Amino acid sequence: MRINLERRDNETRRWHIVAVFDCGTYAMWAARALSEGDGWEWRLVDNRHPDGPIVIIYKGGVAS
């Protein structure tokens, strides 16, 4: 029931878990800062909701 921070590999296009957070705010801050700094795609997968996971993708510091 945690929030996974994942990075997409530009060559294989696969997602890799980089960190796990208990707090969504810290996860969003990390994803935004990392996407601004390195240009990779980062996503958050929040599995705490009963209807299914919530996924937020960051690229260039912008969430989509």
Which pLDDT tens digit goes with each residue over 13-29? 999 999 999 988 999 99
Could you tell me the pTM of the whole model?
Answer: 0.87
Q: What is the DSSP string of the chain?
A: --EEEEEE-TTT--EEEEEEES-HHHHHHHHHHHHHHH---EEEEE--STT--EEEEEETTEE-
- What is the predicted pLDDT for the residue at 47? 87
Distance CA(49)–CA(13), nearest Å, equals: 26
